[in-house]
Amino acid sequence: MIPAIFGCSGARLTADERDFFRDADPAGYILFGRNCEDPQQLRALTDELRALHGRERLLISIDQEGGRVARLRPPHWSAYPAGEAFDRLYRLAPASAIEAARAGAHAMALELSAMGITVDYHPPLDLRQAGAHDVIGDRSLGSDPVQVAAIGRAILDGLAAGGVTGCIKHMPGHGRSKVDSHKEMPTVHESAQELEGDIAPFRALNSALIGMTGHLKFPAWDADWPATLSPTIIGNVIRDQIGFDGLLLTDDIDMEALDGSIPERAVRALAAGCDIILNCWAKMDDMQGICAAVPAISAKAAARLERALAPTRLADAISPEQGKLLAKRDALLALEGEAA
């Protein structure tokens, strides 16, 4: 198995993709809007990916947070609010915000599992910071570490209740970024002591089964390498200080914050301590280059992958319970508007 998660180019596999994926045997796949036309088509695509590998528990993943980060959208799928909605409610009624987040994530997972999706890259545990770039912005669950951890835990629990494994991101914290890491490398200049708050939500949820790195430089920890490529940050901060022992993925290595060829980035990230490379854009040359450059998945990473997928389960259809959960979420979120 190749320690990589690959994207697919469209709503159906091409013949070249089918042959390549069968031979390469990647650890999993990531879906985007380009892959999702309607429920029948999407389930057929995920069923085909599973059939290619003969693995019922296959990592088929998506970025489905809500708000502007949602690959599945109406009219075929439900709408979900951005993290900011739970942030606002928490400041008024913490218990209600936690229950709303749990119910919303459970409803989301019922939808995802019926589509054949096993992993959601959600929740972001990045603290919202004044003056930072809005690459995180309203996606954040708040600026208080305790609050973010509490809502984040509810989201992980809700996803798990619906048969989907969540993923905490972007370790060790993306909230202070002054630029968009999709376009350039952010550098966070705060001291290690000042960054204690940023890593606190990740430490609180360090038992999560999957986590994702961020492409940011933190000179307080490593003057040379961004988190994704830094043995120091992955070893000393993510694994030791945060205490995370789950499956560690890179953020998309196509992002322009990183330099070098895609295979070079992949090799460096694995050498730094990441378990699996996330390569999103279905460029055949890049995927082939990664397969030629990287070793097979390590025994430790394979065990983490198996552990992350063990609780997942697929549904034949969206459960009727989803409507009740969405109604519960909306009623709780409405409390904030009523109080205003």
Residues labelled as active-site residues? 182, 251
111 touches 78 (CB < 8 A): yes
Render 146-200 in DSSP notation, one character per residue. HHHHHHHHHHHHHHHHTT-B--EEEET--TT-SS-TTTS--B----TTTTHHHHH
Sign (positive/negative) of CA torsion 163, 53, 32, 289? positive
Q: How far is CA 257 from CA 13, 63, 182, 215, 225, in A?
A: 29, 19, 6, 6, 11
- Give the residue carrying structure tokens 């509490």: 150
Q: What does the alpha-carbon distance between residue 323 and residue 313 come to, in Å, rounded to a whole number?
A: 20
Q: What does the alpha-carbon distance between residue 209 and residue 134 come to, in Å, rounded to a whole number?
A: 27
Identify the three-state secondary structure at position 20: helix
CA gyration radius for the chain?
Answer: 19
